[in-house]
């Protein structure tokens, strides 16, 4: 019996063909149980104290990045411009927010200058490292020091907060602007 098993083991069976990992298109994911991020102290692009709770009553489109990112950062500002245009007057019901994750590189004046290239009504926020780590953790964002020593996010998402400041959608990088506009309109229509 052992000889038969050894003979079978010695037979050459073709190796199974490798199946490529399935790829899925980017998508927007609605959170079943909305999460309220911590209201950590931050500064806005004008150097004024700010918190996420300042936006209650409005929807918030928000993303985390570095101004001088040379790695895989999300740059949602061009998409924010398109969303604002597509929504027209309804865009006043939203806050468009970039969180600069490193207070040193993404300080208020740097954020103001950077956002001014896109739209002066866009809001920039930044926080001390310990507060930024706490905020990022609640958004499910891994923070690390990049090769320049800056605190950087691994966050390939735009997030949508509802009028109560709760995280309602994760929108993966690469989702079409038209889809984000559709989602924002439907949430606005929910009241």
pLDDT of residue 71: 57
Chain mean pLDDT for the chain: 85
pLDDT of residue 33: 86
3-state DSSP call for residue 178? helix
pLDDT of residue 112: 95
Domain of residue 30, CATH code: 3.40.30.10
Q: Is residue 120 part of a domain?
A: yes
Q: Which two tokens stand for residue 140?
A: 């499910």
Q: What is the CA radius of gyration of the chain?
A: 22
60-74 per-position pLDDT tens digit: 999 998 887 655 566
Q: Is residue 124 part of a domain?
A: yes
Domain hosting residue 40, numbered range: 26-190
DSSP state of 146: -
144 vs 136, residue with greater confidence: 136
Angle between helices 177-190 and 77-87 (to 10 degrees): 50
The model's pTM is: 0.83
Measure the CA–CA gap between 114 and 63, rounded to whole angstroms. 14
DSSP state of 27: -
Measure the CA–CA gap between 33 and 61, rounded to whole angstroms. 18
DSSP state of 117: T
Q: Is residue 67 part of a domain?
A: yes
Q: Is residue 9 part of a domain?
A: no
162 vs 16, residue with greater confidence: 162
Q: Which two tokens stand for residue 172?
A: 């993966």
Q: Is residue 7 part of a domain?
A: no
Q: Is the dihedral of CA 133, 68, 43, 175 positive or negative?
A: negative
Answer whether residue 56 shows pLDDT above 70: yes
Q: Is residue 19 part of a domain?
A: no
Number of structural domains (the chain) is 1
Q: What is the DSSP string of 147-159?
A: TTS-EEEE--EEE
Q: Is residue 74 part of a domain?
A: yes
Beta strands in 101-141, from DSSP E residues, in sequence order:
123-126
75-109 per-position pLDDT tens digit: 789 999 999 999 999 999 999 999 998 888 889 99
Q: Is residue 2 part of a domain?
A: no
pLDDT of residue 76: 87
């Amino acid at each position: 019996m052992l000889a038969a098993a050894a003979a079978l083991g010695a037979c050459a069976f073709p190796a199974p063909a490798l199946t490529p990992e399935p790829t899925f298109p980017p998508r927007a994911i609605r959170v079943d149980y909305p999460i309220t991020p911590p209201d950590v102290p931050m500064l806005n692009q004008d150097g004024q104290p700010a918190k996420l709770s300042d936006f209650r009553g409005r929807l918030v489109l928000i993303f985390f990045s570095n101004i001088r990112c040379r790695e895989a950062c999300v740059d949602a500002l061009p998409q924010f411009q398109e969303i604002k245009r597509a929504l027209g007057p309804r865009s006043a019901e939203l806050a468009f927010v970039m969180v600069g994750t490193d207070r040193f590189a993404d300080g208020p004046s740097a954020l103001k200058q950077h956002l001014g290239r896109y739209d002066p009504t866009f809001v920039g926020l930044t926080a001390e490292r310990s507060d930024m780590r706490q905020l990022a953790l609640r958004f499910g964002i891994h923070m690390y020091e990049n090769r320049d020593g800056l605190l950087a996010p691994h966050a390939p998402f735009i997030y949508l907060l509802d009028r109560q400041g709760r995280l309602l959608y994760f929108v993966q990088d690469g989702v079409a602007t038209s889809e984000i506009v559709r989602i924002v309109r439907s949430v606005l229509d929910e009241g």
